[in-house]
Amino acid sequence: MTNTLITKDWWKDEVIYQVYPKSFKDSNNDGIGDLNGIREKLLYLKELGITTLWICPIFTSPMIDNGYDIADFEGIDPQFGTMEDFDRLLLEAKKLDIKIILDLVINHTSDEHIWFKKALADKNSKYRDYYIFKEGKEKPNNWRSIFGGSVWEKVPEEDCYYLHVFDKRQPDLNWENPEVRQELYQMINRWLDKGIAGFRIDSITFVKKDQDYSSLPADGVDGLVSCKHKTRNRPGIEVFLNELKKETFEKYNCVTVGEAPGVAYEEFSDFIGEDGYFSMIFDFHYADIDVESGSDWFKRTNWTTKEFKELVIQSQEALQNAGWGANFIENHDQPRALSKLVKEEFQNSEAAKGIGAMYFFLRGTPFIYQGQELGMLNAQRTDIKQFDDISSIDNYYRSIQEGFSEKEALDFVNMRSRDNSRTPMPWDSSQYGGFSTHQPWLEMTKEYPDIHTTDNSVLGFYKEMIALRQHSELHEVLTKGAIDFISEVPENVIAYTREWKNEKIYVLTNLGVNKEKVNLPKAIEKLYLVTHDNVVSGQEITLAPYQSILFK
């Protein structure tokens, strides 16, 4: 790998496409996407212009959390194929100059992992200390897990509990045990030796827990308190993350993308600075603008476009001061951006392009989540039984417990469900969207028959954006250029410049539902991208709702 990826910060030049394997393409028609399906679509991805694929977990798993519950770090789940299929995918992607990064889930395993099975079977086995077991008749404290209920699960026939920050079938690994860390590092290095280009690192800010394990005042009617206060980005984590980097990533010229919720802007330089733990991190401050916390969907906010704009600006400024960002508006845990960020009557392909351009040209590496390039919308479901995602089911019942009606609970879940973005990818307007000939594991969205028939497609626009960033005369300024935000614009317009050497380009987006007049700092010399068909030229322009332009 080191031969082909010679430059140190090669990942700054990438456009990364996220694949949720279960829903991308089903090659063997069992209703579930797979590795050969991804391979079938490599040419599509090449034509789109992306350069790296991030594939969500493909490892052996009981799929309680769709693969984020790993039973064997080095086995491929049969639903997705075999290791030979993976090797073939890696090879064929390489021929097309597409790199592959995998999901690294090392905060927890599945309860079906051999370490956990041995830990449960024998309290004297060394594997007990691979996880966090606490002896006692009562639960050690009142922490609530991310997917609801206590973080503690009783060990059958023992006065003992084990800790799980996520589902009870996802026991947390004990990072305090050096042997556990060494096992993980060796596994990581074996994957890197295989030739993958790096990792997206799951829930990595959860690996350090406060060792007092003390209760806190409850924050819900269940008498529990979010475990985040005691398990996320806690003091001492720097020791683990520095060691992780030193023992693994640093030895390779690989990319590492930290999923790092709970990191304050002031701490960004520890994470992504010159000697930071990772190449880049996802910042969730603006992604989670619609809810008070990413795991309590009934705590909705009345966010405004002005607040959204301010959060994007703060996030970009913090990323620029510290290092490099991983820019995104969608992923497998988030609703579709068009549904979340755009008012209902404007949820069309023009607005999908508008918000696409807004984030795509920010400073950092752009990530595109499968289907985002089609301008997909959330799915609307009418019954909680139609959901697969554990977090959706938990949020539904917890909302009711908090006093909301069934309808309100369903509304919260429809708006936020992780199943919104996990619906199978529609490749054409045939039955099941060409995803499979078998009924898919999760229902498609209602929009799928029409999504490929729009003129002026969102897909074409994404191709244009990628080509502009990767292959045009603007390549350097769009990848290396500094970002600056322009404050003399209307409240609902976000405007920034990217500047590199003598080149300066402008990106403006109207984030609101009204037309906005903007007096530009200079007249438009050359318009590179425009998302709506109204004419924009000169120095005084009017932007349509959700319109973006890019010019110099």
Footprint of ligand NOJ on this chain (CB under 6 A)?
65, 68, 105, 166, 202-203, 259, 332-333
Residue number, 202 or 330, with CB nearest to ligand NOJ: 202
Residue number, 105 or 511, with CB nearest to ligand NOJ: 105
Helix (H, G, I), strand (E, B) or coil at 53: strand
Which is it for strands 160-163 and 133-135: parallel, antiparallel or unpaired?
antiparallel
Closest contact distance (angstroms) between CB of 146 and ligand NOJ is 7
Residue number, 63 or 483, with CB nearest to ligand NOJ: 63
CA dihedral 336, 342, 345, 346 (to 10 degrees): -100
How far is it, in rounded angstroms, from Cα 136 to Cα 462?
Answer: 56
Indicate the residue whose CB is closest to ligand NOJ: 68
Closest contact distance (angstroms) between CB of 456 and ligand NOJ is 33
How far is it, in rounded angstroms, from Cα 499 to Cα 485?
Answer: 11
Closest contact distance (angstroms) between CB of 227 and ligand NOJ is 13
CA angle 247–327–452, rounded 5-degree value: 120
Q: Please report which helix (H) or strand (E) contains residue 120, including its range.
A: helix 114-121
Which token pair is 88? 């073939």
The residues with which 226 forms a beta bridge, in sequence order, are 144
How far apart, in Å, are the Cα atoms of 476 and each of 172, 398, 504, 508?
43, 49, 11, 19
Residue number, 417 or 510, with CB nearest to ligand NOJ: 417
Residue number, 69 or 350, with CB nearest to ligand NOJ: 69
Catalytic pick from 259, 267, 389, 516? Answer: 259
Which token pair is 232? 């996320």
Which token pair is 381? 């479901």
Which token pair is 307? 């607040």
Residue number, 259 or 373, with CB nearest to ligand NOJ: 259
Closest contact distance (angstroms) between CB of 482 and ligand NOJ is 30
How far is it, in rounded angstroms, from Cα 500 to Cα 489?
Answer: 23
Residue 464, Cβ density class (10 Å: 0-12 exposed, 13-18 middle, ≥19 buried) = middle
Q: Where are the alpha helices (H) located in 149-298, listed in sequence order?
A: 178-194, 228-231, 237-247, 268-272
Whether 183 is a known active-site residue: answer: no
Catalytic pick from 202, 283, 394, 516? Answer: 202
The residues with which 493 forms a beta bridge, in sequence order, are 510
For the chain, the C-alpha Rg in angstroms (whole number) is 23
Closest contact distance (angstroms) between CB of 332 and ligand NOJ is 6
Closest contact distance (angstroms) between CB of 62 and ligand NOJ is 14
Backbone angles phi, psi at 382, to 5 degrees: -105, -5
Closest contact distance (angstroms) between CB of 200 and ligand NOJ is 9
Backbone angles phi, psi at 2, to 5 degrees: -60, -25
Helices (H) and strands (E) in the chain, counts: 15, 24
Report how far Cα 332 is from the mean position of its chain's Cα atoms.
6
How far is it, in rounded angstroms, from Cα 58 to Cα 196?
Answer: 14
Closest contact distance (angstroms) between CB of 214 and ligand NOJ is 24
Any idea what DSSP says for residue 128?
A: G
Closest contact distance (angstroms) between CB of 242 and ligand NOJ is 22
Q: Which of 418, 419, 441, 440 is nearest to 430 (CA)?
A: 440
Cβ atoms within 10 Å of 135's Cβ, excluding its own: 11
Closest contact distance (angstroms) between CB of 145 and ligand NOJ is 10
Whether 111 is a known active-site residue: answer: no
Helix (H, G, I), strand (E, B) or coil at 163: strand
202, 68 Cβ separation under 8 angstroms: yes
Residue number, 296 or 516, with CB nearest to ligand NOJ: 296
Residue number, 20 or 435, with CB nearest to ligand NOJ: 20
How far is it, in rounded angstroms, from Cα 391 to Cα 443?
Answer: 18
Residue number, 68 or 191, with CB nearest to ligand NOJ: 68
How far is it, in rounded angstroms, from Cα 280 to Cα 547?
Answer: 29
Residue number, 259 or 350, with CB nearest to ligand NOJ: 259
How far apart, in Å, are the Cα atoms of 349 and each of 249, 354, 376, 494?
40, 9, 9, 20
Tell me the catalytic residues: 202, 259
